[in-house]
Structure 1
């Protein structure tokens, strides 16, 4: 199917304005996402139906040129606001939204137009689920880990083997953007789309987490899988990662913002009965509201040029992402202090959100990774 036809069909079923898009997502958040949040957290249910509803509301389209209510622009901010709107109800879901958005971003930025035409429209519409398996490659590029996947050249493509320990938004039939280095020449690295086919690319649940159990997080076992040339996202993975990295990092602000707003709501609700003592706490709902009002304009400005690559711009992106993780954990702590002992009860209003908040600071790029990256740029 021609790209123009896919664009037309996908866009025609989505909201026609930012206001319509956010209203649709808010409705999904306050009904479907809210009603499923406990099952996602406690039972580890993957919210696939909710992801498809979010797709139809335009949640995965706004940062992709050719799609969304304004197809001439990359509205990265609107994508982040969509994630934050859903994330007020469920951090697990906003995390999955980031992964779907990241996969779409990889496709958009790839020079492989045939691959983009094949998968991008389906990713945006929710027909397929896609994810980022770039935690290991990004950390490997920054000298933190070694590449987990190794490839060798064969006729028409590559044979790739290895294991990625933790990749989320996965299930049978899902797609993953990740990278491998050549076994005979580690200086050569490729980025490609892998299809979870249950055969030579399998997933296995090898652990359980204290939160985000419904994130579809598995180990990916790649066993001499043939990756055809047609599935290569980038022949030169390092330069491609430099291109996609700012948006990759900045979109995570949506996860943080959803969490912070949820904690602000918890603090305000707590004040209805505990204002007489909560007022003595050093960080209150208004503390975080004022802080967001102060810092968000700068972050929004960064989102306007996601393809910029200057060291000064990258430093600001890394600093913004670091701030987001640290502010989320501060807000989590403040909310728990507001609730007191009742917030320490399993299943309390704070319980799930507190556990989810920690993830914002440890998901790639983690706090320590960001601090290293900032130091490396300054060196």
Structure 2
């Protein structure tokens, strides 16, 4: 794989209004739900959701890697806003990869403009693909109706379920024995209900809630993919790659804070910070090379390793920033040190969690050893 040198996306130059807004409101976004309605429209107004989307669909062109860098740039300022960005951009990616052209053309304009929220309810499906858990949603063909299904089930944690309106991707086990499939489910379909926002300790303006479907009937117009496993195998590199943008941006910001410390602090932390910066760049290059080449489609374990490595770097960089800040960082209103520590604590648990990925790598290693015996 050819390594691509990471070039950070300059948010303050490309979208100065958004950058200033995030800087001014990052704490509020993290600790309250007051700005939950504002994040997505602002990402849309800054044209960030168009990055990596072909021009024929209203996009700005570029690649998935360009979208990852944009997410990283937002994560430097607010992981909650980057979490919303990831959910929206992942859903956009599903439509870009879907064979359902009519669904794509109907919804992409509003999605890339930030006028309609797209939510990725496929975390359960990604775990299903890795044999971590069964699907939690079911689809039953409507008797006597061609290509219509009754959908039921519940997903406990989905981000970007805006109360103002959303469309969510979810995978369904088919009662008639066919392969599981993926539907786009609109918020206003009969039987769709959203819970109150989950009582998170951080990222509280991310519109994160549970979703329930009770007798929701949809037809083939809403079908993203008829074969969930085949679709997810190709969509997973972008799903995880875009997610990794959150880790990349947060780690960069923590290391920048360490570099801006006083000379004595830099002298004490400089070697460790430099080592983390080198590791971050190397992991980012591996991520971008695997996505650019398509290698992660057939070698998902390689991408799992990158995701685990980035989470480790984020944790170490955040702790180093805490050390560099000292007692000052434990006070409110002192540059976001405490907020970034909370944000870093979220990185290992976002689905698929680091524990789940380590388990997958252990199984992969065991299988390889068995086959080699």
Same fold (TM over 0.5): yes
2:267 counterpart of 1:279: yes
Structure 2 match to 1:327: 313
Please give the residue correspondences for 1:241-252 in structure 2 after superposition, counting only pairs within 5 Å.
Answer: 241-252=232-243
Q: Give 1:308 deviation, angstroms.
A: 5.5
Equivalents in 1 of 2:347, 2:330: separation in Å? 20
How far apart, in 2, do the equivalents of 1:44 and 1:257 lie?
Answer: 25
Matches within 5 A, 1:284-323: 284-306=272-294, 309-311=297-299, 314-323=300-309
> 1:188 aligns to what?
179
Whether the aligned pair in 2 keeps the contact of 1:29 and 1:89 (CA below 8 Å) is no
Give the match for residue 214 of structure 2: 223
Shift of the 149–25 alpha-carbon distance from structure 1 to 2, 3 Å rule, reads farther
Shift of 1:198: 7.6
The equivalent of 2:4 in structure 1 is: none
Q: Which of these residues, 38, 45, 66, is aligned with residue 34 of structure 2?
A: 45
1:367 corresponds to: 354
CA shift in 2, pair 1:141/1:279, >3 Å:
same
Unaligned runs of 5+ in 1: 1-17
Q: Give the direction of change, closer, same or farther, for the CA distance of 1:123–1:199 in structure 2 (3 Å limit).
A: same
Aligned to 1:30: 19
2:301 corresponds to 1:338: no
In structure 2, runs of 5+ residues without a counterpart are 1-6, 368-373
Alignment match of 1:174 (pick from 166, 185, 209) = 166
1:60-209 matches, within 5 Å, as 60-66=49-55, 71=61, 74-154=62-142, 155=145, 156-172=147-163, 173-185=165-177, 188-197=179-188, 199-205=190-196, 207-209=198-200
Partner of 1:238: 229
- Residues 140 and 175, structure 2, Cα contact 8 Å, conserved in 1: yes
Distance verdict in 2 for CA 1:70–1:157, change over 3 Å: same
Q: CA RMSD in A?
A: 2.5
**Cross-structure match for 2:48:** 59
Q: From the superposition, tell whether residues 218 and 28 of structure 1 become closer, same or farther in structure 2 (CA, over 3 Å).
A: same
Contact 2:11 2:19 in 1 (8 A): no
Instruction: Give the superposition deviation at 1:65.
Output: 2.9
Farther off after superposition, 157-166 or 136-145: 136-145
TM-score normalised by L of structure 2:
0.87
Tell me the distance in 1 between the aligned counterparts of 2:298 and 2:302.
10
